[in-house]
Amino acid sequence: MKLGFIGTGALTAAIVTGLKSAADNSVTVLLSPRNQEIAASLALRYRDVRVAPDNQAVLDSCDTVMLAVWPQIAHEVLTGLRFRRDHHVVSLIATLSREEIATLIAPVEHVTKALPMPMIAHRQGATIICPPDRRMAAFFGRLGKVIEVDDPSEFDALSVVTASFASYFKYLDTIHGWLKEHGVADAQARDYIVTIFKALANAPETTPDTGFMDLAQDYATRGGLNEQILRELTARNVFDAFAESLDGVHRRISAGAAPRIGPQS
């Protein structure tokens, strides 16, 4: 595979870093020259990673091309380029549909949507792929888990999950702040939270047949402390409000209007 990237930003850097830290990392990579600093540092760091003089040179030298620019500029960037019918184009632009991308990159026939996340740099997390694609499943499978879906609406719904990351850290930060207010040293509080939540995150994987609510109930002993917090938050409609926010993000993604997915969302 000769792999090219149009757009060398945070996500491209994460994919190339994950790829080049894998045992079998012989894929040659050609990067578009923007962002210049990121492209140059990746080329300096890894063998078989080069920076092309321009976007067209990436297309001319590669068989597989990942699109990693923001949706707002995708039209301007892509319509000026000459794609070949035999290119395999993988769009990482979450909020543009496969049909919209296909129109911009005609005459390409093979278009796949993929949604990796920045933790791919550490070969962790999961990449959603639509429609299922053997080559891309094998590629991303070396960099973490792969979830393949046939239905674009399923892809959009799964994408909504990525909008909950910031709130997850806010949840941990609330506990951290509370501990500090109650006299626990900053580092010790953080260490405890990190360790205990890592163990909790492992629980669904170690008991794959157990539902999330069953896991909640395991801790929510009647009259116990976990039950108190779960009951109080439920009574204040915290979880309903959260589900409504997921609905709101889903509407934006489905309408192709979500400006940013990722750490800066």
Ligand X SMILES: NC(=O)c1ccc[n+]([C@@H]2O[C@H](COP(=O)([O-])OP(=O)(O)OC[C@H]3O[C@@H](n4cnc5c(N)ncnc54)[C@H](OP(=O)(O)O)[C@@H]3O)[C@@H](O)[C@H]2O)c1
The answer to whether 11 is a known ligand-binding residue is yes
Q: Does the annotation place 224 within a ligand binding site?
A: no
Which residue lies nearer to ligand X by CB, 56 or 217? 56
Whether residue 33 is preceded by a cis peptide bond, meaning omega within 30 degrees of 0, is: no
Is 7 annotated in some ligand binding site?
A: yes
Amino acid at 6: I
Q: How far apart are CA 245 and CA 248, in angstroms?
A: 5
Instruction: Say how far apart CA 80 and CA 109 lie, in whole Å.
Output: 18
**Closest approach of Cβ 14 to ligand X, in Å?**
7
Whether the CB-CB separation of 144 and 124 falls below 8 Å is answered with: yes
Q: Any binding-site annotation on 202?
A: no
> Do 52 and 31 meet the contact criterion of CB atoms below 8 Å apart?
yes
Q: Is 226 part of any known ligand binding site?
A: no
- Residue 11: closest CA among 90, 108, 103: 90
Instruction: Tell me whether residue 224 or residue 248 sits nearer to ligand X (CB atom).
Output: 248
Query: Which residues are near ligand X by CB under 6 A?
Result: 6-12, 32, 34-35, 55, 68-71, 73, 77, 92-94, 115, 117-118, 261-263
User: What minimum distance in Å lies between the beta carbon of 74 and ligand X?
Assistant: 7
Which residue lies nearer to ligand X by CB, 157 or 184? 157
Instruction: Name residue 41's beta-bridge partners.
Output: none
A 10 A CB-CB count for 211 gives 10
Report DSSP state, residue 75: H
Minimum CB distance to ligand X, residue 63 (Å): 19
User: Annotation-wise, does 10 bind a ligand?
Assistant: yes
Q: Is 233 annotated as a binding residue?
A: no
> Cβ closer to ligand X: 66 or 189?
66
Q: What is the phi-psi region of residue 232: left when phi exceeds 0, alpha when psi lies from -120 to 50, beta otherwise?
A: alpha
Nearer to ligand X, 189 or 261 (CB): 261
Please report how close the Cβ of residue 66 comes to ligand X at its closest, in angstroms: 9
Q: Which is nearer to ligand X, 94 or 108 (CB)?
A: 94
Give residue number: closest CB to ligand X.
9
Shortest distance in whole angstroms from residue 4 CB to ligand X: 11
Give which of 90, 92, 102, 240 is closest to 159, Cα–Cα.
92
Minimum distance of ligand X from residue 95's CB (angstroms): 6
Angle at Cα 115 formed by Cα 213 and Cα 107, nearest 5°? 145
In this structure, what are the phi and psi dihedrals at residue 92, rounded to the nearest 5 degrees? Answer: -100, 5
Q: Which residues are annotated as a binding site for NADPH?
A: 55
Q: Which residues are annotated as a binding site for NADP(+)?
A: 6-11, 68-71
Q: Which residues are annotated as a binding site?
A: 6-11, 55, 68-71
